[in-house]
Amino acid sequence: MFKRLIDWHLKTWKTHKYRKPLLLRGARQVGKTHAVRALGKTFHHFVEINFELAKDAKAIFEKNLDPKRIVRELGVYADGAKIRPGETLLFFDEIQEAPEAILALRYLYEHMPDLHVIAAGSLFDFALEQVGLPVGRVSSLYMYPMSFIEYLVACGQEESARAILNHSGKEPFSEPVHDKLIERVGEYCAIGGMPEAVVKWVAEKNAKESFQVHHNLIASYRQDIEKYAAKYQIEPVETLFRQIPHMVAEEFHYKNIHGEYRKRELAPCLELLCKANVVHKVYHSAGNGIPLGAEANLEWFKLILVDIALTQASLGFDLSTWFSEPGLEFINRGAIAEAFVGQELLCCAHPQQKADLYFWKRPAKSSQAEVDFLYEHNRAIIPVEVKHGDGRTLRSMQRFFETHPHTPYGIRFCKQPHSRWEKIDSRPLYSVSSLAHEEQRLALEALL
């Protein structure tokens, strides 16, 4: 399987002196199980219990939460598997199916701290509503679809990935190299970052195979709705899931959802999609200081889906055009370019906490201004614009500078090469990884 950013973090967790049981969190099919199995190969023993497949295993945790008894009986249940602290990785997959197993993580930590335990589940956050999180007794890592750099490495383009990561931006790449990298971004926009779609593309070089994966994943996300939504919520959740792709990167208003639904009905349904990690909110923030969330307006937001290729597949777009005219597609599909940058920013954030995205807008009628993203980088707030065409005015960013005089610089991501003008750093779309968190930067370098 492909190298992933999460691999570095999992190896770091394995050797950490104060390690706790780990919750690996993220949407369905982003690669959580494969990542844990890859880590399992570095242990003497690896024991995997999938509670969706082995439903009877739940009973082991329902008797009581004595960790020694649980470990002993799990070893017997797993056909005599050896579960030994320091030598075994114990993996609970789809743990939302066994809420008592979540509670057991606390006692495994307190009484068997040397045992490596990881739990994962695409609908894990819903189970927490039943039993709560063992605060202070577990740690978390969040996974997203494959980033653009991960995609390049998966496609055998390590040198391209290395060139991007090592590029200072002081001098742009030569035109042929720049054009080739923009083509790769267009290719990524068509294939997306869902691992199965990338696997099919790398193996077959037949985009239609990947496109079929997109539609299958969309269908599986829809099927999941019945697992976490109450019966009366299923229809409005499905309505939101169908219509949100049409509103990606726009300010979201419940009144724009077609159907006989009111905000009070739709708001909790939208939260369900967010909790399933299928949809991410981009909150408005005044952007005056760190953390950005301190000045966030939770009622004012935009939305992006988990993956840009799934977004386009939901809209029925012809994704093959990304291969022939990527530059033109970035102009024609401006919302997708913005969603691409948002998806990359999520991957750039520190995975130990759930990443939030923010934007800024001055609503004054006489002088409206909007910045696509605000991002915390090196203890500073950086305004980020995504320019789909050749626009150079960046009036909104200038308004942000005027109202936030301590802002060190702003970034414009576009399809043009690197350039710098006053406080605006113009970077090509393939270089969003330049904003990676320090530890995520180490994870990126480890891919190579």
Instruction: Kindly list the domain boundaries of the chain, sorted by start residue.
Output: 5-142, 148-446
Q: Residue holding tokens 């003008």? A: 421
pLDDT of the residue at 428: 96
pLDDT at 57: 96
Q: What is the pLDDT of residue 390?
A: 54
Q: Which two tokens stand for residue 236?
A: 């409005």
Distances (CA, A) of 385 to 17, 194, 210: 41, 25, 30
How far apart (Å, rounded) are the C-alpha atoms in residues 51 and 57?
7
Q: Does domain 5-142 have CATH number 3.40.50.300?
A: yes
pLDDT < 70 stretches in the chain: 365-366, 388-393
Instruction: Please give the pLDDT value at position 327.
Output: 80
pLDDT at 378: 87
147-171 pLDDT tens trace: 999 999 999 999 999 999 999 888 8
